[in-house]
A and B are shown apart, each in its own frame.
Chain A
Amino acid sequence: MGNIAALKDKNVLTGNKKPLFLASTLVVTVAVFMYYFYIPPGVDIGPEQPIPFSHRLHAGIKEVQCRFCHPYVSRSISAGIPPVGKCLYCHNFIITKHPQIVTVHRYFNNKTPISWVKVNYLPEHVLFNHQRHIKKEIACRQCHGAVETMDRIKKKQFEMGFCVACHREKKANLDCWLACHS
């Protein structure tokens, strides 16, 4: 009887080997898939843009002021992104033969807008006002991070807590509609 039981046990073990193997492979595959899907390596450096524009180079090394390219930041709710023509203020003279600069020239000459990938954004029911924050001398980096050290802009997950913490600290407007939503 004992033998039979042992045999059965053995059968169970050998018979289960294949499904166990399949199950563990599935778990590993799903884990690897999810890792690459949700936390892909390299996500840290920010999304790829149609032109590999480097903020580290322009804002960091060359020390171009933020407002040179984003001039509306102190005048309007949105900071604005520079028109293609603005790149050529300098790049009509600097490294004009660089293949990427040639691409910029091509955009300009064909009057084609560049479709940049939007990195930072807020949900539709939030209306952030850049002007108000700049007027209160909140530095750009306080929300956007050290842009001058990033080649690609890294996404900042702006959640309500982030806004409210600062608004509390600075005793700013905490009214829902009057402050952010409408």
Chain B
Amino acid sequence: MNRRTFLKISGMGSLSFAAGCSREPEKTLFSMTHTPDDRVTGKANWYASTCRECPAGCGILAKNREGRVVKIEGNPVHPINKGKLCMRGQAALQGVYNPDRLKTPLFKAKNGWQPLSFLKAKTILKNKADEAAQKGSNRVRMLTETIGDSLMGLSSTVLKNLKSHTPMVYEPFAYESLKAANETMFGVNGLISYRMDKADILISFGADFLETWLSPVEYAWKFKAMHSLKEGNKNLSFHISSYQSLTGANADHWLACHPGTEAMVALGLVKEALDIGKGNHLPRFFHELLNKATAPFTRKQVHQRSAIPPALYEKLIVRLMGARNPLVLGTATGASDLNGVQTNLAANILNLLLDPDLLLFDFHNRYSVEMAAKHHDILKFFNTLNAGRADLLLLNNVNPVFTLPSDSGVKEALENSDLFVVSFSNFMDETSETADLILPVQMPLETWDEYGGLKPVVSTLQPAMGKLTNKPHLGDVLLYIGFENDQPTDNYKAYLVSRLAKDHGITNEAQWVQMLQHGGKFNPSVNPVKTPKQFHLKKLESILTQKSKPPKSDLVFAAAPSIRFFDGRGANRPWLCEIPDPLSRIAWQTPAIIHPTTARENSIAQEDVIRIQAKSGALEAPVYLTELVTPGLVVMGIGQGHPSYGRYAEGAGSNPFKLLNAKPDPDSGGTSYTIDQVFIKKTGRTLRLAHTDGSRTQHGRTYALSITLVDLKQPKQPQKRGLTMDDFPVTLPLREGYDPKRDFYSPHDHGNYRWGMVVDLDKCIGCGACSVACYAENNIGIVGVDRIMDGREMAWLSIERFHDPDQMGNITFLPMLCQHCDNAPCEPVCPVYASHHSKEGLNNQIYNRCIGTRFCAQNCPYKVRRFNWFEWKWPEPMDLQLNPNVTVRSKGVMEKCSFCIQRIKTTHDIAKNEKRMIRDGEVKPACVQTCPTDALVFGSLKDKESRVRKLVDDPRAYQVMGYLNTKPAVIYLKKVIHKA
């Protein structure tokens, strides 16, 4: 370069530098015209409402900051979930703030979708409804998800005014076989609830009550109430199924059986009970019938055909027959073939034999998802539509095109040009795509409503946020189309209030406000309903004596309901996609899960893409090998594989619904999620799995430890403490944890508190609710599938899953988060002092000081530090969810768990205002708050009376890799296992 060019370039450079710089952009502050009474800028308001992410209907508290809802937590006074919430409930936020949410109504014209005004859309709808009503009776049909009584009442009235039948309730998980069993046995065509917390042994034939079955949060706390360590003892739970769900992984013993043989085992158990003289209280004819029906299921037969391990079966029989309060649950959410009906029926019979009073059955509190129509009736419904027997179809929050098998004829029915289809969905999903008019309505967090997931509980819904658009309430749309000038009320809210007032004796405003503040009316079940015992003898006999057919082929395919996506409605929430599956630890993808033996037989390796061919279709998926399924079975999680459902769902995973058969079972009216005559073929391609686990086993290191009940009961012998991995003592992150023999540096001086956490591995069920709570609270970025493959996920708290190398079917979950070590390896290596020790023992990470050397992450033995390789995006309006009290980290900065410092500070403020110390249990980090089983406890280790300090003295207490002398402030309690 010569002098001239140099001067030219530098001149240009300095000029462009001067021109490119501007003053800081002006920021604006908007003053409202009126401030709402309860609004204090900078302070959160909490509104009680109800979760509508699945039919369980948990109570929630929605945190509102300056008009936008930023976090959802469980409502502590709600009887169903008692202040806890699962990951799907928390992710409801990403439904209302989803960037792909429709903003205006859309009309399907010849040249594509045309946006309309809401008024125009309502007018079109009203004209269509009037036209249809004039043509004759039952020309307007409605298909809805499970809804509250008020909305159901209004819909029925409106449809009646339009000369049509009541709405059809569609739920993909409709529990047909369980309902059939309850009806045959008790004359209750519904879904009763179970007092699982009172049981002393729990047997489940696949019921995935920790994931999707009936009411997962409720059964999570009930399960641990029954299953946790109490006075040195622990109740047993058995899980009998062909693949291990999360529920199976949490049972003490998983009895792997051949697919379709659950009924055999259940009937075998009935036989064992009868053989030892149980059931003498039953009528003789019934007794004889049972004897006859179960005669073939001797132990030998059961072992041979189901392949469950004989020793465990013996143990199951002994423990079950000797139990005082046994509870036997039926099949998984989607098993409604003959095997499913028989299993559920046998489970009911077993309960009746072993506990004649059925004390653990709650016939009074029943799940309202029981209103869902049977699969059989849904198919009939679409057939009538196909035959042109309706003109207008209203769809409320259902996606049958995705959730029904390809041969069900749904798509053809909806695309029928004589039928005008109106979808009230907020998303362009597979079903909305076939509609003629999409009229998006308010979502549950924005609206007034009422819902009771477990009747007679009634939960209220109230708007927890400002309006993002001027969408109407579905009830208001119905009021508009269903009445002329004789509307019962002006709007749906008034309708709702008057109805609730009538049903629940609300006479004044104060009572109404109180009901809203509580989140509903929770009538305790005071008068236990007498056990109805009405046997449908004929039906019982016909079901029990049928021979269930063994699967016709070597290979069987099963679609498994997913804790993350439910029936697929969660697939557009990025948190749910990003949090890996609890058992496979795979995010964003839907692998085909098979046993290594099956893989060997078909010469398939992990990550090979295989083609699964069934009678009704085929799909391709990468293979994940695991011992958690029985050989000969291909399992695939339900929920992903959406051709159309927004940017997060499209192109991710595959949809196993498409392989199932639409043909319903004659006895239950439901369909089975397990099909035979499946063939798999290698495609020759491979796909890297986006998994977040480094290894499946612990390689002999002390991460996730367990102890047998027998060892725990042994009197504690004083052990000589050394400095090796096995005999290193628990070194508390306090002055007393230091010993000049092994510590060179002096202990830290802490202030009034030294924060710490105790994680009880015996209570952790691995559900991942804590992890999503952490994402929501701490503005953690979503990195997507490619970045996860690079190992760059940002989770501050992840649930590690470890297989037992001797017994790969046994699993331990380990919540892993920053250990806030007292002797933290990350602190001394930071050249800029960005990670340093706080006076309350926290391991601070100062984002604005961090220069991104990543030395700290290298030196952290727990691998909990996350580096921001990119600037993560929150596409509008998803940024409205960001917690204003937590800094959004930018590119080049290291981040990690802060023990929710913002919550500690808020509590400090409250305590300082009241001039007192912080009470034990007053600070609740987001993970601790939401844990359904209370596995996490947080508090100050300096306080001798605190719960964490007392739990540290538990003989099960240990520190993960404590032998590194890091003195972690997260103390784990070993998982307690029963020896096989």
Q: Which residues of A contact B (CB under 8 A)?
A: 30, 33-34, 37-38, 47, 72, 75-85, 107-108, 111-118, 121, 123-125, 127, 129-132, 135, 175-178, 181-182
Contacts and interface: CB of A to CB of B under 8 A. Distances in A.
A127 B42 CA distance: 11
Contact of A83 (B27, B33, B840, B848): B33
Nearest to A129: B909
Given A30-B18, A76-B40, A177 B30 contact: no
B909 A34 contact: no
Contact of A175 (B838, B902, B909): B838
B559 to A, nearest CB: 43
Nearest to B903: A182
B887 A121 contact: no
Contacts of A79: 41
7 contacts: A115-B29, A115-B30, A116-B28, A124-B887, A176-B844, A177-B842, A177-B844
B27 A113 contact: no
Interface string B421-453: 000000000000000000000000000000000
A32 to B, nearest CB: 12
Max count, chain B CB within 10 A of own CB: residue among A117, A125, A132: A125
A137 to B, nearest CB: 14
B43 A76 contact: yes
B872 to A, nearest CB: 15
Counting contact residues on chain B (CB < 8 A from A), the size range is 35 or more
Given A125-B847, A176-B846, A178-B908, 13 more contacts: A33-B18, A72-B40, A78-B42, A82-B31, A85-B33, A85-B34, A108-B33, A111-B33, A113-B30, A117-B26, A175-B838, A182-B886, A182-B902
Contact of B41 (A72, A84, A107): A72
B26 A116 contact: no
Contact of B887 (A34, A47, A118, A181): A181
B916 to A, nearest CB: 14
A177 B838 contact: yes
B612 to A, nearest CB: 48
Interface string B393-429: 0000000000000000000000000000000000000
A80 B36 CA distance: 13
A51 to B, nearest CB: 10
A76 B41 contact: yes
Interface in B878-912: 885-888, 898, 901-902, 904-905, 908-909, 912
B35 interface: yes
Nearest to B41: A80
Contacts of B913: 131, 135
A81 B31 contact: yes
B33 to A, nearest CB: 4
B471 interface: no
Contacts of A135: 912-913
Interface string B846-874: 11100000000000000000000000000
B536 interface: no
A80 B29 CA distance: 10
Given A124-B887, A175-B844, A178-B840, A84 B42 contact: no
Contacts of B886: 182
B311 interface: no
B432 to A, nearest CB: 34
Residue of B29, B31, B846 contacting most chain A CB atoms (<10 Å): B31
A80 B902 CA distance: 20
A121 B27 contact: yes
A106 to B, nearest CB: 11
Nearest to B833: A176
Contact of B29 (A37, A85, A116, A124): A116
A164 to B, nearest CB: 13
Contacts of B904: 178
Contacts of B34: 83-85
B9 interface: no
A83 B905 CA distance: 28
Given A47-B26, A113-B30, A132-B912, A178 B839 contact: yes
Contacts of A47: 26
A182 B32 contact: no
B42 A72 contact: yes
A84 B31 contact: yes
Contacts of B898: 177, 182
Contacts of A38: 23
B103 interface: no
B909 A83 contact: no
A113 B32 contact: yes
B43 A75 contact: yes
B851 to A, nearest CB: 14
B128 interface: no
Contact of A113 (B31, B836, B888, B909): B31
Interface string B114-135: 0000000000000000000000
B910 to A, nearest CB: 10
Contacts of A130: 42
A114 B31 contact: yes
Residue among B836, B842, B905, B909 having the largest count of chain A Cβ atoms under 10 Å: B905
Contacts of B27: 117-118, 121
